[in-house]
Structure 1
Amino acid sequence: MEEVDRILIHSLRQAGTDIDEDVQSVKQFTSELIVEAVVKCLRVIDPALGNGLSHLLPPGMSARFRLGMSLAQACQDVGFKGEIGYQTFLYSNEPEIRSLFMFLVEKLPRESAEASDQPAGKSALLQRAIAAQIKAQLSVPWLPPSCRLPIHCKTQSSGPCHRFHTEPLSLPYSVKVSSRKQPKELQEYWRYYLLPVTAQPSQHSSVPASLLENHISELSAAQEWESEWNSQGLLSRLTPEEYRSRKKARLQKRIEEQLRAAAQPRPDTHGATRSTSDLAELLQSFGGASTGGDVLTKGTRFTHTEKFTFTQEPEKAAQQMAAAASALPSSHQSEEDLKAQQEAELSSVQQQLQQLSVQMDEVGGDIKQLTVSIQQVSDELQQKEVSNAEKKNSVKMKRQTIDLLPDAENNLLKLQSLVEASSKRVVHLASQWEKHRVPLIDEHRRLKELCSNRESESSRKLSEIKDLHDKIRQSAEEAKKKESLHKQLQTEYETLSKDVSRSAYTMRILEIVGNIKKQKEEITKILSDTKELQKEINSLTGKLDRTFAVTDELVFKDAKKDESVRKSYKYLAALHENCTKLIQTIEDTGTILREIRDLEEQIETENGKRTVSNLEKILEDYKAIRQENSALAEKIREG
């Protein structure tokens, strides 16, 4: 138990418990030290649960009992399954406290249990300090500047708050395009003319937000590209550059198709001329001006009529407005007459606009009807052309047949000879085709099977490549973790004191391992000896029973005839009974010895529980409680 107690004490010191160097065993723990160690462990395991408990034992007995009950409940909440109560902390015994401390030490987080007192690297210490500072600042609630106390000035800045405003940044990335060289002009621009990142935004407060957004966009783009390449890029069997170029061409083609579809003239739109011209310019930038120009500039009779109507009506309206303006007297009309006249003109213009919109709707409906009728007429025309071609073919056949009628017999013979010759030729060609078809079918089957094998092989290799990509990614992550761990361990090793001899610890560990091996060998030897003795006892007992049965039978046969043999039979029965009693006595003696050893162990256990000292302490606490109760009663009487 000494080694176990040392490990427990070391872990409790790492958790923040102040234990003297003289304390080397759990037996030496006082109630105050037990309470402090349990509270410090609970604070590390569950801060929300342990921060509400005091690590100091109060002087009053009632407060001590309440603290003991709270600690017992907290340990049960954490997951302790053993028997626990206020007596575990106030009137402790060694086994219960040891089991409780073993449970709490196992519950401690590894980094808290290992890295509290051990020297770590500079980076690890800096990260811990930063994390502790951030945690402390986050635990303090934010207050407006007018409500802040002097204690909040250290953790909460008095400066103005800025909104999260981002601006685009220009960053010189040479890692992004590792396979292609950057142009020399671009490198010169980066080197001599590009502003630093902190000077690019219009406001200095936008720099962190812009950097965060830029980093997040790059990270998300890299993740999307990696997922797309692993899912679709590998299946395309192309290089990453070819896959990107094909995707770019496909996207450009789709945009061009959508723009062409949007550039088609529609009769129900009003601003078609301006939009088609803009789309034509945009299509020229995509290289489609040669095909889209005729479409955009082409017009029909109805579009020309609509254009002529809409161009004539504004001219008439402008002439009417000019005549009205010339007819107005410049000085004799009052403002009210001028307003009334303007409202009348506005209402007339609105009426004209409504009439024009109605006319446009009517023209649009007519255009739709005419378009439908044109489509129907074109379909009927196609059907008539098809029927006309069929009739021409039939007329041609009938004309040839009529030409052959005057010499019908000779023509029939010629036709029969042609049919026979053509049938023979067909049979000959079929036999030749059959000769060529069989090897071609075999070759086709072989190639098809080879292609299926190659596809299965390629799919298998593709799955292996995906697995290798996953393994490479996992190996890279593990390598990074191991490198960081190696650096941290290297710094810790450098900061460790070199005067500590490692061989002493190694020898101590080897001694412990050797003692454990010896104990195992001794236990195994004792168990084997016990088994051998039990086997020997069982064999002797069986042999004795068989011998007695045979002797009893022989002697009993002779005892009927001879008196001396009858006495011998009585002596034999008495001897067997005495031997049985002796064996039973020996077994009872062994049972009593085992019970004595168990009782001695129980006595040692009870002595380890410090029952006498606990009883004395309980009596003292009882007297203190009675004194507190009497003092409270006197206060109540006086009050």
Structure 2
Amino acid sequence: MEEVDRILIHSLRSCGTEVPEEVQSIRQFNTELIVEAVVRCLRVINPSVGSSLGHVLPPGMSARFRIGTSLAQACQDLGYPGDIGYQTFLYSSEPDIRALLIFLAEKLPRDSPEDSHQPAGKSVLLQREIAAKIKQQLSIPWLPASCRAGTLWKSQSTHQLHRFHSRSLTVANDPTGKSISAERKEYWQRYQPLVTSQLPHLTSVAASLLERNMAELSTVQEWDSEWKSQGLASRLSQEDYRRRKRQRLQKRIQEQLRQCSLQLPENQAPTSSSQDLADMLKAFNMSGGSNQNKGSRFTHTQRFTYQQDPQRINEQMQRTAEILPKKDAQNADAEQQEITSLQEQIDSLEQEIRGLSESNKLLQLTLGQVEAEVNERRRSGEQKEDVVRVKKRAVELLPDAENNLAKLQALVDTSGQRMVNLVGQWETHRVRLIDEYRELKRAHQEQEDESSKWMKDVKDLYGKIRGAADEAKRKEELYKQLVSEYESLPKEVSRAAYTQRILEIVSNIKKQKEDITKILSDTKDLQKEINNLTGKVDRTFVVTDELVFKDAKKDEPVRKAYKYLAALHENCSQLIQTIEDTGTILREIRDLEEQIETETAKKTLSNLQKILEDYKSIKQENSQLLSRVREA
């Protein structure tokens, strides 16, 4: 409480209350000082109310009562939750006055009027600058374009306005979070151009940066939501989930490309786009692992069709056409005829290629049908060979049919006996396997339950992490605001002692918490030990009672021992109850002592004496007034 009183006294002195230096606690406050402190605080909190109150007590008791009532009403209007009246100020008690002063200190404004224009943080500073700039521009009257000059031409004209046009930027970052190679670092440091150099106009720098930042933020948020909704449910690591997602995406792209390639007409002339599509499909097949040696009908057809590449012939034609203007005019007709003949040869070759392609398709279909027929006949031949082999074996056994039948019967009996033995062994093995299967199923179910529990815990942990991140961000903003407020405060005020007292209070509170935690832990351990001992005593008595009671029916000394056992148990129970009642009485005694100390702190006797003195002074004032009335 001493540290709290020192902080309160410091706050009261900052409000203008003249607290003497020798006063170090609320206990040393007298009535005049209490009234002055409350009035000073009210004047700072609400000047309209505090200005009508005087901070000096008059000598008359009736005037003192009126001032005490006014102060109580003003504190109630501010929202003071406790009971308050004129007696709180005239016949004060230490706890009531401390609670009242703490309430008024919390109501004091944190910023003085001189520092109200200071910024509270970077965000607040930016908002205030924007508001001041807008207010400044709104205060300037609008003028037509012909009347603007100087500053008005820059502020009110639209020549500085630009459209929001963003472009893609290359920025030195590492989105994967893995180690960066030395070559990439060297490229970033030496060769990568600046952001302003990557854009054709400087007006699109801000738009491009904003667009890139928003894209990165949206990507992070989408991945976070996808991982929490689908990634955690898949029970994979983040790398495995990304790899599987990438494989699914590549497979979908490959299927779409293959469908597009199959939709092309079969008699369509080959073009560069179809060749690019075939190359892209081949690249996907190469990256697909096991499918790299396979090919679709489209790829086989394209490979067969482009054995004689017409594109190369067209390039030769173009090169030939480029050389033509350089030759003499005399050879132009001959070369033109040669080009025409070459073109006719190309057309005939293309027709021949198309015919070969059709023949190849037909041969492939025929080959497939023939292979299917051959396979079918091969299977039929194998089945017939098995039937012939069995019949041949039976024919070989016919000359000695009786002996062979006896041997076959013995073999059947042996096989039956072996089958019975195998069935018995299988039953034994099956029972063990069933038990093992049930045990594994139970373990798997427990693992599933534990995994579900862990999933729930992980989701709760993600929620707590998100809340902690928001709380950390809020506290970071608060920290910046407090740092800015501290920097804006006058530097001549030394707050080292004040800070040291706060640190001491925090350390004392921490130490008290540790002591309370230790006491609670000791109490729980002691209560647990008492419960264990009580249960042990009860169980011991029950077992002993049963053992002795069995022998008490037959033996007289044992019967007496049983009576003594019952009496001993009853006396022990009474003793334990007496100890518990003693502990309860001791706790009540401590509570009463604390109440006595609390009542003593209220200074009831001194307040009664003061009330008697005030009563005598009021009677004396009344008698003086009556005498004046009689004289008048």
TM-score (norm 2): 0.45
Report which of the two structures shows the higher radius of gyration computed on alpha carbons: 1
Q: Which has the higher contact order (CA 8 A, sep 6+)?
A: 2
TM-score (norm 1): 0.44
